[in-house]
Each structure stands twice: as structure tokens, then as C-alpha cells.
Structure 1
């Protein structure tokens, strides 16, 4: 019994092609781990590992950002992705004084929707669904001007009758200046293995991601700038493959498109994410980002558009931090990410004041 061509296109195109960061040669599984529904991350070029703010939703990318100031924070994130793919994330943090450690737990999900199952002759046999989940647990500590943390990820993926389980970990360390206006960080993400393969013993790698970055907030100025180098495990390699189907330059001897040449600048630039925030107190943030890899991967031959550019904002209303972020992936197509963060202690204080 076979599924319709729609499933084949889904497995071959949607999973590897739409989830934020493609890996070199398209290798690896659990690519949904790179899809971040968080609005702040979306608005900062898809990478916010150098954003040292009191936001529990940022822990999914950098566990070393977690500290006791996150105690009793709750964060919710949602994005209605392309092709009606829905993704979300829930996070909760708490601090235990006796252990001098802050913990967080959360779950990330991607729901690909319902699909029609057919026989080879086109007869409809029913429907099936597809979804993936990541249960993540994080612990972090502070030592003087250093913060370090680690996350454990328990992964489940179900695509029609194909089911897989895996385990992965993130480890990170960050250094902050005494005034916390400058920070540097190093993160290793998704170091893990597939415990149960989708079929038989055909095990796949989980794509690891080594990143470093720094950010600088200017004193008496709302501007903060961040620069991140990602995918450093592939340093010296080109992180994308150009689609040459529309290449009009043909080799007269072979009749094939002439492959585009790349230099060391192309290789280096593909690792870079640049983002900036304008921070107006605790009530308003405006964000912009640029992801060079995303821009190069998703640009058409003759049309670049605004692929790779992102923007967003955050506002505080009463006890809630509300954020919106948008990233342009295809010409005329963008995502709409929404996030909300609140602290349970704020509700307790309100209750005590009214009594």
C-alpha cells in the first residue's frame, strides 16, 4: 500500500526545504529542530543566541542565557507556517536556591496537517497525519561573569506509519561584561543520535550546529547589535547548493549549465547572521535581522527580493510581553510568528495588593 504523490513531495520537499536552515548536501534528520516559532528569534534573523534579555523563550537556542531572573516565567510561541504547517513551543523556568541552578522545561511541536492516502490506481484509502515533537529540559548556572548551561532533547517524529525516536543535547557558555552591555557566547546544538529509525535499521545523523557570537548594547543608546557565526562544523565549505536549472550559461561542449563558481568570501558569508534591536526601556523593542545563508538558499536565479531579511517588535502590556516577528523566505511569502511571556509571580503580587 503506497501513499499519494503528495506524501512523496511532502517528504522530499517540505521537510528538507522549508525548515529554516538546510544542511550541507541536505543530509540529516529531525530538521524541525531548526524551525523556531518564537517571534523574537524570527525577527532577529532566525538566531538569537546573543540576546541576553529576560525571555524564557530564548533558552531553546542558547541554554546558557538561563539564570535565576527567569524564575516562574512562562512563554508561549506559535507560527502558522507555509502549506498550513503549524508549529509552537511552550517553556517554563524555575530556580532552586539550594542547588544554585535554574531549570527550564518545554515542548516544541510541528503539525504538518492531514493527508489523503491513496492506492497506486488513485483509489482513496483514508487519511493520515504527520507531526514531530521535542521535549526539552535545561539546567544552567552562573559563575561570576560566566553563565553555562545544557539542554536535553527527547525527540519523536511520526510521518504516516513511519515513526522515529531520538535524543540530542545542547551545551553552551556565555561571558558578560560587568555592566552586561557586552556578551560573547559559544553554543553546540543538536549533538545526538537516532534511537529508532523510520524504517528497519536505516539510521540517519542529527545535524549538529556549532555557533559563536557576540552582542554589544551601547550605553545611553537604544541600539544593540549582534553578530553570529553559525554552522562552524562546516567551516571552509559552501553551506548551500545553487539551483542551476534556470542558468542560461551553457557549456557548448557538454550542453549542460555552467556551474557557478564560489570564492572564500561566499563561503565565509554563508555562516553569518547579523541582527539589531532598538530597546526603548521595558515597553518597546524593534528588531531587524539578516541571515546570509537563508538569502542565498531561497533566492531565485533572476529575483532576489527580500529573502533573508527579518523584522519584528515586542511590547509590554500590563504583565505580558507580547512579540511579533516575520521572516521572508520566498518572494512574496513571509511567516507570522507570535509570542507571549509572563511571570507567575506578577499575578501573585497583584492578588496580594488587592487583598
Structure 2
């Protein structure tokens, strides 16, 4: 256990200078492809039960109730971009559980031009991550630990890159009290091959969360802190700069409290144990970064629902980003 703690501590400190906001490769790994995840704000490590999608976000969530569960999700992003994911879990004869998952992002058809501006036809691009996961409950406790190993591929026209990464997660779940606590270190790894020999880092992220199923009230709330590997996740929006009479520009100053809140994601599930449930969420960082001056458009808010019909579960989520574009995710899960 001491060796594991030392390794995790070293990885966390080494990645403390990692940046958010598109400075790493394979940013599609940060996008929620599960409707339930997306509806609860996009970063949740405390979902329990037989939601097989959750293993992609916290490998410690893998459990025996997911045996022979298959899930497929699909959504449209901006323009012709599409994203999706599939997940499956199975329990072996020795009662050990394993999980396989695929995450996909397609960029659609792109017009190509040479350095002289002449059209060279169309090309496409895509990102794919294939993962294998395993979890182990700790004997006579409410704790479990798990890990995913991922192979990541990216292609654009005739260029390709490849990387390997791992997710490490821990989960505490008490069915009697309704409390759940989760911790995940995501995307620990590096590139084996890169575009044009330019090595790029992976989007490492540390996330911790807590949730509670309320007594006598059909509500479960979720509270998450994302991007714990980096304290300052803010940036100065040039549209919020001030210019005085002498054309002196004063950049936006993000307050201490505002920066704290940009780590916060909050979600609520109504009727979480019923066949039909409603989900709401708010991602403070998305809300701040996508906010338009002097105009309210509810950036950062998310909503969705889940419907159980016998062996099938239908899920939907809507993410509010900007007036110009929002995303919709659809999911179907089945017990084989």
C-alpha cells in the first residue's frame, strides 16, 4: 500500500503543472459521452449501481451488478462532429469483474487546401480510445479500487499518433447511510508516436467527489471538484477587458473565490431509484468560460433523464454551452 501511495503522490506532483483548456493532446478524453454523466455536469466519480458507462470515469465503480450490461451512446457536437461510446462488463467464473469500453470522436468531412489556397479535396479525422478495466472490492469494507488501461489513437488526413494511458480510481459506498465518495486520477501515460515527431502531453486530471442519497426524499445530490492537479484554471477573457480614455487596457481579474468555484461541479438526481428519473447539473467553469456579457443564456447548465423499460434503459442529456451551439446525447443500455 505504501508503494501505491508513493506512486500516486509522485504522479500527482509531476502533473501539477499540467494545463487545462486545450494545451494537451487527446482532449476528447475530457468530453462526457455518457448521458447520465453529461446531465450531472460532466465530471462525476460517485455514480454507483449497474451503470456500466461509469467505469470509464471511475474504474472502481465496476461491480457484479454490471454483469452482462452493454451500453451504447451517441451525440452530435458542433458542425459535423460526432461523438460516442460503448461499454460492456462481464463477471468471470472466479467472480472477478472486467470491463471493456470504446470512446470515439469523429470530425466529419473537412475541406483541404494547399499553401497556395488551392482545393485538394476533402479528408477526415477521428480520435479513438479503447480501454480495459478491472476493479477489486476490499474485503469486509465499503471500499473498492480499480484501474483502466487505455490505448489511444488519433488520425487526421494521413497523419497518426498513438498513446497509452491508465485511470486509477477509488470508491467508498455505504448503502445504509447513502454516502458515496470517489477519487480518480485520469489519463496517466504518454505518447508512443506523435504527429510530426512533436511530443504532446496527455490531459491528466484528478477528480474527487461526494454524493448523498437523502432520507425520506427521492433525491441524490453530487458534488465534485475537478482539475485538482492545477490550482489556477482561470483565464482573462479579452471581451471583458476595460479600455480607458487613454486606450489603456485593463484585463479581467479573476477573483480567488471565482477560481475556486471553477473547480466545482454540482448535480442532482430526482427519483434516482425509480424507473424514470430526472437529472440536473451545473458546471461552474463551463458557465464562466461560455458566459456572454450582458446576456443570459444559461451556459454551464445541464439536464437529462433516464427511463427503465424492463431490460432496457434509455437516457438523454442536453448540455448548454453557447447560443450558437449546444449538445445532445442519447444512450441505450441493456442487460444481455
TM-score (norm 1): 0.85
Question: 1:82-129, CA deviations, whole angstroms, 9 ceiling, x for partnerless residues?
Answer: 11201110111011242x421100111111011122233333222211
Which residue, out of 87, 100, 107, partners 1:112? 107
Which residue, out of 252, 268, 274, partners 2:260? 268
Question: 1:156-209, CA deviations, whole angstroms, 9 ceiling, x for partnerless residues?
Answer: 000122211001111011112242611111110111101111112x10111211
Correspondence for 1:184: 181
CA distance in 2, matches of 1:285, 1:42: 15
Which residue, out of 282, 297, 300, partners 1:290? 282
Query: Is there any run of 5+ residues in structure 1 with no aligned partner, and where?
Result: 1-21, 345-355
User: Cα RMSD over matched residues?
Assistant: 1.7
Which residue, out of 35, 40, 44, partners 2:36? 40
What displacement does 1:251 show? Answer: 4.5
- For the 8 Å contact 1:169–1:191, the answer to whether it is kept is yes
Change over 3 Å in CA distance of 1:210–1:323 after alignment to 2: same
What displacement does 1:240 show? Answer: 2.8
Q: How many residues align?
A: 317
SS in 2 for 1:336: strand
Which residue, out of 159, 165, 171, partners 2:156? 159
Change over 3 Å in CA distance of 1:280–1:117 after alignment to 2: closer
- For the 8 Å contact 1:306–1:331, the answer to whether it is kept is no
Shifted more, 47-56 versus 283-292: the winner is: 47-56
Shifted more, 120-129 versus 130-139: the winner is: 120-129
Correspondence for 1:250: 243
Correspondence for 1:66: 62
CA distance in 2, matches of 1:148, 1:246: 44
Change over 3 Å in CA distance of 1:270–1:145 after alignment to 2: same
What displacement does 1:26 show? Answer: 3.7
CA distance in 2, matches of 1:25, 1:337: 22
Correspondence for 1:199: 196
Correspondence for 1:221: 217
CA distance in 2, matches of 1:280, 1:181: 12
State whether structure 2 residue 167 is matched by structure 1 residue 174. Answer: no
CA distance in 2, matches of 1:27, 1:124: 29
- For the 8 Å contact 1:171–1:189, the answer to whether it is kept is yes
- For the 8 Å contact 1:37–1:337, the answer to whether it is kept is yes
TM-score (norm 2): 0.90
State whether structure 2 residue 138 is matched by structure 1 residue 149. Answer: no
Correspondence for 1:87: 83
Change over 3 Å in CA distance of 1:234–1:49 after alignment to 2: same
Correspondence for 1:52: 48
Query: Is there any run of 5+ residues in structure 2 with no aligned partner, and where?
Result: 1-17
| Structure with the higher helix share, 1 or 2 | 1
- For the 8 Å contact 2:19–2:230, the answer to whether it is kept is no
Runs of 4+ in 1 over 6 A off after TM superposition: none
What displacement does 1:25 show? Answer: 5.8
CA distance in 2, matches of 1:108, 1:118: 29
- For the 8 Å contact 2:237–2:252, the answer to whether it is kept is no
Correspondence for 1:8: none
Shifted more, 41-50 versus 256-265: the winner is: 256-265
Which residue, out of 217, 228, 234, partners 1:240? 234
